């Protein structure tokens, strides 16, 4: 931004200036964090809010701060200091409104002060939001500043998951077998998803433990079926039986080891095999990204061979399509050129060619790509890599489980992402959460499963 001010001697009565500002939800979160004003009227409602309070009303002082932006950057501009401001509020502004902020010089004083009328209007309706009078100390000297920059801000709000949850709430509730919900987090996540209208859980495990946990959370089991059974694998086998009986259409992991959950599902007779490898996908909501980022496989296939990577790619593409994404698969390696000494680069090139020949369908596949030129367009262009995927990948296929697990956890703990986990390749989606996952992560996992199942019908 370039700034040029209007010193006192240049200002004339009748001079005007204005700026136009679209209010976004992030603006309201930033203002709340900076001011300490957490009034819920000014913030997007949480998923379980039902207090009847009108939300997303822009705080009055946030609107008033837009006047200071005109005074400090346009008229008089850089070097201006406040002396006095009166404010009258005539209407309310909300997230999504576009505002016009105007000032007009009405008096120049002998002491170097300037008096301006101030007002803010809704650009669409022309409704007056704010009016007042400002008195400022005008700058004495001409100031011109080039390339004024301030650090960018990324709000740690998981808007993509909020949208997915909203979409899932419009679908029929997904009957879900919750296997061994024997801790607060796993049973709490199921209750939360049920309250939000996403799933109808059937709890499978120790009835006594499940009942005790429900009481601990002040939740009632009256509306839910509980199947009392001992043993983790036995509970997982019951979940498979319910799938075959068409009583449930998803399975949710509770407090048990992933191997114990999946072993009955892999049984050739009574399991949930449908021809593809079971693969895991993290759907990551990374603050600052324009869409979710899928990372696969980070939980099941340790060192996948080429055939397994084909299923990893295809399962991820199918999931992305169910989320209304345009799948762009970046197959990762340490380098962006084929190196015979690096097997992942060879596999990536083969997967890319297989997609060209229609052996992987529904999305664009390119590789090998290093992490930088997979997700950053400038890095891809610098290295001369072009195409539909380079710099814009929204699905990252990793060389092996260790790399995928590290990548997903780096996104979670360094980039403050939330991750929804799903196992694909079975006859129904399998919701796979870790014990440390947040309520939003568990809720989003259920939403992703519901959207995926809806598309697969």
- pLDDT at position 300 is 94
- Could you tell me if 33 and 136 lie in one domain? yes
Q: List the CATH number of the domain containing 420.
A: 3.40.718.10
Burial of 129 by CB count in 10 Å (0-12 exposed, 13-18 middle, 19+ buried)?
A: buried
- Does residue 457 form part of some domain? no
- Does residue 152 form part of some domain? no
- Does residue 136 form part of some domain? yes
Give the C-alpha separation, 286 to 266, whole Å. 32
- Could you tell me if 262 and 308 lie in one domain? no
- pLDDT at position 51 is 45
Give the C-alpha separation, 336 to 349, whole Å. 10
Q: Which of 145, 177, 205 is the C-terminal boundary of a domain?
A: 145
Residue pair 352/331 in contact (Cβ under 8 Å)? The answer is yes
What's the total number of domains in the chain?
3
- Could you tell me if 82 and 205 lie in one domain? no
- Could you tell me if 162 and 263 lie in one domain? yes
- pLDDT at position 6 is 92
Domain that holds residue 102: 3-145
- pLDDT at position 53 is 45
pLDDT for 381-430, tens place per residue? Answer: 889 998 999 999 999 999 999 999 999 999 999 988 999 999 999 999 99
Q: List the CATH number of the domain containing 131.
A: 3.10.129.10
- Could you tell me if 292 and 396 lie in one domain? yes
Helix ranges (H only) for 196-305 are: 207-216, 232-244, 258-265
- Does residue 151 form part of some domain? no
pLDDT for 277-320, tens place per residue? Answer: 999 999 999 988 889 999 999 999 999 999 999 999 999 999 99
Q: List the CATH number of the domain containing 266.
A: 3.40.50.10950
Give the C-alpha separation, 160 to 237, whole Å. 34
Give the C-alpha separation, 138 to 13, whole Å. 13
Give the C-alpha separation, 128 to 90, whole Å. 6
For residue 9, the SS3 value is helix
- pLDDT at position 45 is 53
Q: Which of 95, 116, 145 is the C-terminal boundary of a domain?
A: 145
For the chain, residues with pLDDT lower than 70 are 44-55, 154, 156-157, 456-457
Residue pair 168/198 in contact (Cβ under 8 Å)? The answer is yes
- Does residue 455 form part of some domain? no
The two beta strands, 81-85 and 364-369, are: unpaired
- Does residue 150 form part of some domain? no
Q: Which of 122, 145, 168 is the C-terminal boundary of a domain?
A: 145
- Could you tell me if 240 and 289 lie in one domain? no
- pLDDT at position 95 is 85
- pLDDT at position 49 is 42
- Could you tell me if 280 and 401 lie in one domain? yes
- pLDDT at position 46 is 43
């Amino acid at each position: 931004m370039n700034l040029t001010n209007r010193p006192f001697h240049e200002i004339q009565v009748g001079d005007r200036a204005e700026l136009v500002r679209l209010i976004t939800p992030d603006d309201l979160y930033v203002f709340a964090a900076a001011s300490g004003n957490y009034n819920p009227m000014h913030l997007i409602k949480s998923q379980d809010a039902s207090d009847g309070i009108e939300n997303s009303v822009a705080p009055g002082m946030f609107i008033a701060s837009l006047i200071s932006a005109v005074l400090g950057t346009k008229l008089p501009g850089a070097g201006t200091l406040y002396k006095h401001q009166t404010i009258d509020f005539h209407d309310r502004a909300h997230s999504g409104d576009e505002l016009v902020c105007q000032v007009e010089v009405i008096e120049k004083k002998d002491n170097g002060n300037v008096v301006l009328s101030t007002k803010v209007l809704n650009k669409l309706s022309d409704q007056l939001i704010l009016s007042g009078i400002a008195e400022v100390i005008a700058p004495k000297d001409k100031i011109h500043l080039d390339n004024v920059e301030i650090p960018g801000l990324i709000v740690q709000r998981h808007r993509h998951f909020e949208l997915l949850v909203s979409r899932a709430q419009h679908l029929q509730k997904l009957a879900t077998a919750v296997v061994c919900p024997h801790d607060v987090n796993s049973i709490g996540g199921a209750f939360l998803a049920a309250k939000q209208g996403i799933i109808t859980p059937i709890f499978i495990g120790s009835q006594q433990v499940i009942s005790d946990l429900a009481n601990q959370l002040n939740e009632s089991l009256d509306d839910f079926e509980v199947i009392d059974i001992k043993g983790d694998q036995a509970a997982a086998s019951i979940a498979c039986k319910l799938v075959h009986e068409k009583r449930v259409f998803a399975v949710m992991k509770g407090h048990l080891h992933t191997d114990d959950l999946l072993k009955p599902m892999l049984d050739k007779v009574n399991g949930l095999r449908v021809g593809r490898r079971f693969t895991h996908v993290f759907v990551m909501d990374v603050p600052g990204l324009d869409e979710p980022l899928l990372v696969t496989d980070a939980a099941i296939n340790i060192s996948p061979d080429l055939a397994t990577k084909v299923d990893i790619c295809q399962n991820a593409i199918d999931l992305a399509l169910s989320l209304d994404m345009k799948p762009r698969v970046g197959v990762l390696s340490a380098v962006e050129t084929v190196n015979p000494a690096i097997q992942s680069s060879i596999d990536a090139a083969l997967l890319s060619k297989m997609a060209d020949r229609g052996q992987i369908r529904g999305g664009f596949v390119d590789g090998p790509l290093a992490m930088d030129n997979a997700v950053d367009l400038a890095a891809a262009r610098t290295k001369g890599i072009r195409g539909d995927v380079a710099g814009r990948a929204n699905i990252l296929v990793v060389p092996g489980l260790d790399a995928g697990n590290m990548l997903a956890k780096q996104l979670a703990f360094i980039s403050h992402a939330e991750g929804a986990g799903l196992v694909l390749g079975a006859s129904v989606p399998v919701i796979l959460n870790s014990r440390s996952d947040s309520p939003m992560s568990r809720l989003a996992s259920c939403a992703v499963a519901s959207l995926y199942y809806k598309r697969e019908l």
